[in-house]
Amino acid sequence: MNTLRLSDYKDKLIHFIGIGGSSMSGLAELLTALGYQVRGDDRSQSHSTDKLIREGIPVVIGHDAKNVHGAGLVVYTAAIAPDNVERMECERLGIPQMERAELLGQISEHYPRSVAICGTHGKTTSTSMLSTVLLDAGRDPSIHIGGEIDLIGGSVHAGSGDTFITEACEFKASFLTLHPTLALVLNIDEDHLDFYKDIHEIEDTFAKFLGQIMPGGMAVLCGDDVRALSMKQRISVRSVTYGLDNPDCDYTAKDITHDDVMCFSFTPVEHGVELPRVTLRVPGRHNALNALGVTAAARELGLTGEEIARGLDAFAGAHRRFELTATIEGVKLYHDYGHNPAEFHSVIPLADAVAGDHRLFVVCQPHTYSRTKLLFDQYMTCFTGADEVLITDIYAAREKDPGDIHATMLVDALQKHGVPAVYTPDFDACENYLRTHWQPGDVMISLGCGNINLLNEQIARHEAEKTN
């Protein structure tokens, strides 16, 4: 059992291995705002590392044993293996180490109200939504998000209020370090099957997490998701449910409409009582469901219906979530963080609706060898609406190439299933194919949680260079 306490390192240097990751960079910023001395390193330069440097947090590029010298505490992620040179140097020198999730859990303990948003899909968007609602209502919560929102200028905010809002990630059961007073469960689906044995183990882990809700706390459960709803029977704390399709939920919606770009409006209904109508500026029915979940959570936190409607209206979306990044040669370029077939099912119809009578190009960067193998069959049915599908090389992330799966295998299988798929291994190949085939009015969306967002940036950069 880890006996390290963050408070013991207030006057000591804290070093982050892999500081450029979305969660790690946010925690580094949050600790700095709380008065801790922080530095870190990462294997490559990124927007995150550049931002940290601008904010005065020292960052070096590359992992090296000497990087941990002088540190009182070292923070690492689950993706940093024990044989990492810096972790091994910590062992040699006796420098204490704390995993990222444990650090997040200890930070959350400083707040009387801790809100954790969990689920296989939609965590970042829903956390951003709820954060926007509370900020707009003047509650000034502290926030830790896996993505970035413009309202707080990044992924973290050290607020003056009594509430801490965070994503609760199920990867390697890391959310078990949290003991929230309120947990919002969006959905429970098959993911991270390189860690979990099967969906039943995933369900059991979610139940264990919900069992850690603080006495007097509560759970907000999505009633449209069978597995999330089943948690109601497995927990002892108070719970409420929400759903667009399940009329038996505590929070429902009526008069659901959408505009021509699939931004939804609806009237929330709380235990039979109508609340002020909600109009969203982010597209997709799944975001309407997310907004209803946020409505339920916000009401349980004491916000009025008017405050919630105003906050949701102010929500403009999180970066890397169906984000319009540029318009090049009359083609709209979008990016979305979705990285498995279930998420593609939600976002591709949105892009197809935007494209209308024009063509939709989907660029998919499969994420990790294990996920590609385990979800291989699901890839065959998730690209409905796409006119052309470009498949890049698999983004390895934390994994080594096992040698038994390759992007070309995915392309071959997709073609046999009638999907117009082509293999474009790298960003140059993607860009060349797109510029050769697209026409004004078409839409391109890149999908993945690796570095595929850099494709959009590359295309925009090359276009700017042409005009200079």
User: How many angstroms separate the CA atoms of 154 and 145, rounded?
Assistant: 9
The phi, psi pair for 294, rounded to 5°, reads: -65, -40
Q: Give me the catalytic one of 77, 120, 123, 368.
A: 123
Residue pair 70/53 in contact (Cβ under 8 Å)? The answer is no
Active site residue 123: yes
Count of alpha carbons within 13 Å of 7, Cβ hemisphere only? 5
Partner residues linked to 319 by β-bridges? none
Using CB atoms within 10 Å of the CB of residue 387, give its burial: 0 to 12 exposed, 13 to 18 middle, 19+ buried: middle
Chain CA centroid to CA 120, Å: 9
Q: Give me the catalytic one of 77, 124, 125, 325.
A: 124
Residue pair 168/117 in contact (Cβ under 8 Å)? The answer is yes
Which strands, in side-by-side order, build the sheet including 59-61? 59-61, 37-42, 13-17, 73-76, 97-99
Q: Strands 73-76 and 97-99: what pairing?
A: parallel
Residue 73: closest CA among 56, 61, 90: 90
Residue pair 123/22 in contact (Cβ under 8 Å)? The answer is no
User: How many angstroms separate the CA atoms of 8 and 324, rounded?
Assistant: 44
The phi, psi pair for 447, rounded to 5°, reads: -125, 135
User: How many angstroms separate the CA atoms of 300 and 368, rounded?
Assistant: 38
Q: Give me the catalytic one of 167, 300, 323, 343.
A: 167
Residue with tokens 């010298």: 69
Q: Following CA atoms 377, 383, 384, 389 in sequence, which dihedral angle do they give, to the nearest 10 degrees?
A: -130
Residue 167: closest CA among 152, 151, 153, 178: 178
Per-residue tokens: 340: 């498995």
Active site residue 148: no
User: How many angstroms separate the CA atoms of 426 and 290, rounded?
Assistant: 34
Neighbours of 39 (CB within 10 A): 19
DSSP string covering 198-229: SHHHHHHHHHHHHTTSPTT-EEEEETTSHHHH
Q: Strands 37-42 and 113-118: what pairing?
A: unpaired
Residue 308: closest CA among 272, 279, 287, 271: 279
Active site residues: 123-124, 167
